[in-house]
Chains A and B, each alone.
Chain A
Amino acid sequence: MSTAVSAPETRPSRGPLTDLLTGGGPVRRALWLALAGLALFSIVRAVSGEEALTSSSTMSAALLLAVPIGLAGLGGLFSERAGVVNIGLEGMMILGTWGAGFAGYQWGWGAALVGGVLFGALGGLLHALATVTFGVDHVVSGVAINILAAGLARFLSELFYTDNPAGGGVTQSPPVSSKPPSFSLPVLSSGPDLLGDLEQKHWFLLSDLAGIARGVTSGVAIVTVLAVLLVPATYLLLWRTAFGLRLRSCGENPAAADSLGVPVYRFKYIAVIISGGLAGLGGVFLVFIAGIYRENQTNGRGFIGLASLIFGNWRPGGLAAGAGLFGFSDALQLRSRSAVVALLLLVAVLLAVLAVRQFLRHQLLVGGIAAVVAVAAFVGFLTIDELPPGIVSFTPHLTTLLVLSLASQRLRMPAADGLVYRRGEN
């Protein structure tokens, strides 16, 4: 019989500096990482002269673009934590954009909010029906919903918006009739705009910090606020309440949950419907930015949201970081194609560090590949002025792919994620 497991051992001290840098738990490590990242960006900005890298306009665009990704990711979180893989987030987001446009042009931004979430949730309901009640494979159902949602959006647009006196057409809705509110920090980001002044001085590190701070605090839309609040709210709901424990148990061991009286099917339904609603909210946000519904507004953001979920190791905090990362790369390529070239320098430095680490661990193949790509990136930085639009357009997707390739080994998804659960059979 095994004895009770001993308390987690305290690691022996490895010197004060190492302890300072690597000890203290995950929060402190994250802070150090953030600081190091900031310093790196400042250096690259100074070297390349690309102001766009840390300017407040880029940062606010980054936040802007991170929101739909993050919302989709949160949607994926709810669904996958309950054990249902949701590839259909893109389709639910599409439904959300259409619903927001449809309700928005008639009744204003409040209705758009409700309409978008509702339409997204309906998509979630469909996915839940297929996967939970009928036991269809989750990925297949998700792909089917994506196809159906795109077709439905087109069909409904054709039906309602052709020959509509308010405007619009087959691929877009009439404009949303009222603008949603947005907020700014009173003294720092608007009016006297102290942060803006600091940013203009282009001082190393301080100006970058100012740029970032101003970017995320001026002209912040209401959905952004909502989205940012949803991250800790999701954590509290899923990790600190009984509801959350039961929901997560459906994704870890549904048979165990069932045997303890947890209504597994019901929780899966709830989770997937919430998932659709959140994706729909992401769609609402896209409509608010553009002012109308436009076909293909989502442009794969649902999928990137899923990627940020995986990147964040199925936790809200990591997910938000991932969404921020992908939003940033998306913003950069929209802002300034030459700034993307500066990213190459960043990539070169990071990969060089990675290569050194892998060589130290005798992982020659991975280290070698990292080194080669690092050199190529550096050469690219030196020689290329501006990347053509076609190439730049897939920066976020390439980033996603690189991150997933490098990080996939450490991830731990819910144990029963993707499992088609049938009561009594598992």
Chain B
Amino acid sequence: MAGAGASGGTPPAGSPAQDAPLAVELRGITKRFPGVVANRDIELTVRRGEVHAIVGENGAGKSTLMKTLYGEHRPDEGTILVDGRELSFRSPSDAIAAGIGMVHQHFMLADNFTVLENIVLGSEPTRGGRLDRAEARRRILEISDRYALDLEPDELVENLGVGDRQRVEIAKVLYRDARILILDEPTAVLVPQEVDELFGNLAELKREGLTVIFISHKLDEVRKVADSITVIRRGTTVGIADPRTTTARQLAEMMVGSELPSPETRTSTVRDVPVLRLDGVTVASLGGRPAVDDVSLTVREGEVVGIAGVEGNGQAELVDAVMGLRPLAGGTVWFGDKDITAWSTRERREAGFGFIPEDRHRQGMLLEGTLWENRILGHQTRPPAAKGWFIDRKASREDTARIMKNYDVRAPGPDTLAVALSGGNQQKLIVGREMESSPRLLVAAHPTRGVDVGAQAAIWELLKDARAEGMGILLISADLDELIGLSDTLMVMLRGRLVAELEPATCTPEQLGGHMTGGTAAAGAA
């Protein structure tokens, strides 16, 4: 029975565990925030011992819902039932006591603490007032063995890679005897091979009788591992789907409510003139291995060079090096025919570098500043922002209004504070301001991260148009569809080196993922 388009309903009749009380049931959950209704009348039914996925696009309200289930806030309306009992959570401690454990998308780990300390925090075994480390170690190793988590209790978390950290997070939850695990976008930072390992862990959990609720927007993964799928759109439940009978396309359309946009580009606009050339670029890091190791590449006019890789393999440092934010330990950077290795960030920007940073809140905008101040950020030494030594406020405001119109940035006006805008509008402003300065080279790091599908499509169009007009684009992304769809040349970065160059038109996500993890060996992001 397909659930495509159905608006809520009961699971298929005759399924085995139907008579047992539901592990989790949410009825009519509504949660409001100032100015926005994040969840509206949500219905969720999860059977015990199943892996249940909740899918929806970015901003649909999945995380808010899970925070409600985990006790991080209280719903304005609705009831929560766990194992058939109606419960109300005042804090995560109550949820933990009810047997619910949450593995957050952004890991909540203290880097300076060991694995053991992170796991037992808040539920420490004590003996006469003192922390009983021996007992803690014993229990952690027991959990590690039972669920194949491979934990090292005395290792400092800051030394761990992404996959290991996630397993620590899972261990945290299991240590507290959780019977219901919530995983919030667990595969966001993993590549296909690591995802398979995670799913192996989930299978172990299921075999031990635990229930798993799994939030994701990656539909093919969801279909591979889930027993049942709930689709959420715009804060409310739009349907329940059976992965065996629903296609990814049908799921996607339930999520979005309409046809999916696709970033495919076909005609080549690559010209012969090189814009950016990196020659043996090396960037040192605090540890032994350089963060960027002897990287050489060329970006030509009209070309999009995409760099794929698991986060933490040197992409961020590469971007910093190209923008002049980090010094090089070796190699040269050429812009056109000039050696710009020693140039400062400001000089590069003035020469024609555009920059869409990976973390717009950290590097891209001044949240407490106005939109016009953010428009001139990065371009404050040239018109329309600058007039000699002074800032031309009037011209800046007018130009900001113009950009807001052309790039569909929705906000009251140029004097609005940046923090008032949604992520998508903020990103559109950033893209607009960078494009308006007609850069010869655009460095775009994760340009559609945290952006809703509509804005994402708009940004892709902008990038394609700019490319057609001769802009060179260095694209770093973790979105494999984005990379494959936009790039003319696709490279893979692993442990600071460029390890592969692939043909975007013919390569598959599996192939890409294989290179990103170094092939068969489980290398990951360590």
B partners with A: yes
Say whether A256 contacts B96, CB under 8 Å: no
Say whether A242 contacts B131, CB under 8 Å: yes
Chain B residues with Cβ below 8 Å from A260 are: 92, 96, 108, 121-123, 172
Say whether B92 contacts A414, CB under 8 Å: no
Contact with B along A243-267 (1 / 0, CB 8 A): 0111011001101111111100000
Say whether A241 contacts B526, CB under 8 Å: no
Q: Would you call B311 an interface residue if the criterion is a C-beta within 8 Å of the partner chain's C-beta atoms?
A: no
Residues of B at the A interface (CB closer than 8 Å) are 72-73, 91-93, 96, 102, 104, 108-113, 117-118, 120-124, 126, 129-131, 150-152, 155, 159-161, 163-164, 172, 193-194, 197, 522-526
Bound-state CA distance A3–B111 (Å) is: 19
Bound-state CA distance A255–B106 (Å) is: 11
Q: Would you call A18 an interface residue if the criterion is a C-beta within 8 Å of the partner chain's C-beta atoms?
A: no
Q: Would you call A424 an interface residue if the criterion is a C-beta within 8 Å of the partner chain's C-beta atoms?
A: yes
Q: Which B-chain residue is minimally distant from A256 (CB atoms)?
A: B108
Task: List, sorted by A's number, 7 A–B pairs whose CB atoms are closer than 8 Å.
Answer: A2-B163, A2-B164, A2-B524, A3-B150, A252-B111, A259-B92, A260-B92
Q: Would you call A240 an interface residue if the criterion is a C-beta within 8 Å of the partner chain's C-beta atoms?
A: yes
Chain B residues with Cβ below 8 Å from A246 are: 121-122, 124
Considering residues B102, B112, B193, B197, which has the most beta carbons from chain A within 10 angstroms of its beta carbon? B112
Say whether A1 contacts B193, CB under 8 Å: yes
Say whether A249 contacts B126, CB under 8 Å: no
Say whether B526 contacts A415, CB under 8 Å: no
Q: Would you call A406 an interface residue if the criterion is a C-beta within 8 Å of the partner chain's C-beta atoms?
A: no
Say whether A249 contacts B96, CB under 8 Å: no
Say whether A5 contacts B102, CB under 8 Å: no
Chain B residues with Cβ below 8 Å from A414 are: 112
Q: Would you call A4 an interface residue if the criterion is a C-beta within 8 Å of the partner chain's C-beta atoms?
A: yes
Q: Would you call A412 an interface residue if the criterion is a C-beta within 8 Å of the partner chain's C-beta atoms?
A: yes
Bound-state CA distance A257–B124 (Å) is: 12
Say whether A259 contacts B126, CB under 8 Å: no
* Pick from B72, B111, B150: contact of A259, CB under 8 Å: B72
Bound-state CA distance A308–B525 (Å) is: 38
Q: Which B-chain residue is minimally distant from A7 (CB atoms)?
A: B152
Q: Which of A364-422 contact B (CB under 8 A)?
A: 412, 414-415
Say whether A242 contacts B126, CB under 8 Å: yes
Q: Which A-chain residue is minimally distant from B120 (CB atoms)?
A: A245
Bound-state CA distance A258–B102 (Å) is: 13
**Sample of 7 further A-B pairs with CB below 8 A, known A5-B152, A424-B73:** A4-B151, A240-B131, A245-B124, A256-B108, A260-B121, A261-B92, A262-B122
* Pick from B91, B113, B126, B129: contact of A261, CB under 8 Å: B91
Say whether B109 contacts A256, CB under 8 Å: yes
Say whether A261 contacts B111, CB under 8 Å: no
Residues of A at the B interface (CB closer than 8 Å) are 1-5, 240-242, 244-246, 248-249, 252-253, 255-262, 412, 414-415, 424
**Known contacts A252-B111, A261-B91, A412-B112; is-contact A2 B161 (Cβ 8 Å):** yes
Bound-state CA distance A5–B526 (Å) is: 10
Bound-state CA distance A246–B131 (Å) is: 11
Considering residues B120, B121, B129, which has the most beta carbons from chain A within 10 angstroms of its beta carbon? B121
Bound-state CA distance A253–B104 (Å) is: 14
Q: Which A-chain residue is minimally distant from B123 (CB atoms)?
A: A260
Bound-state CA distance A262–B91 (Å) is: 10
Chain B residues with Cβ below 8 Å from A2 are: 160-161, 163-164, 522-526
Q: How close is A9's CB to chain B, nearest CB, in angstroms?
A: 13
* Pick from B102, B108, B112: contact of A415, CB under 8 Å: B112
* Pick from A3, A244, A257, A259: contact of B104, CB under 8 Å: A259
Bound-state CA distance A252–B121 (Å) is: 12
Chain B residues with Cβ below 8 Å from A245 are: 117, 120-121, 124, 131
Q: How close is B522's CB to chain A, nearest CB, in angstroms?
A: 4
Minimum-distance CB pairs A-B, first 7? A261-B93, A256-B108, A260-B122, A2-B526, A252-B110, A1-B522, A242-B124
Chain B residues with Cβ below 8 Å from A5 are: 152, 155, 159-160
Q: How close is A245's CB to chain B, nearest CB, in angstroms?
A: 6
Chain A residues with Cβ below 8 Å from B112 are: 252, 412, 414-415
Q: Which B-chain residue is minimally distant from A257 (CB atoms)?
A: B121
Chain A residues with Cβ below 8 Å from B131 are: 240-242, 244-245
Q: How close is B204's CB to chain A, nearest CB, in angstroms?
A: 15
* Pick from B110, B123, B130: contact of A256, CB under 8 Å: B110
Say whether B194 contacts A241, CB under 8 Å: no
Bound-state CA distance A260–B129 (Å) is: 20
Bound-state CA distance A260–B525 (Å) is: 26
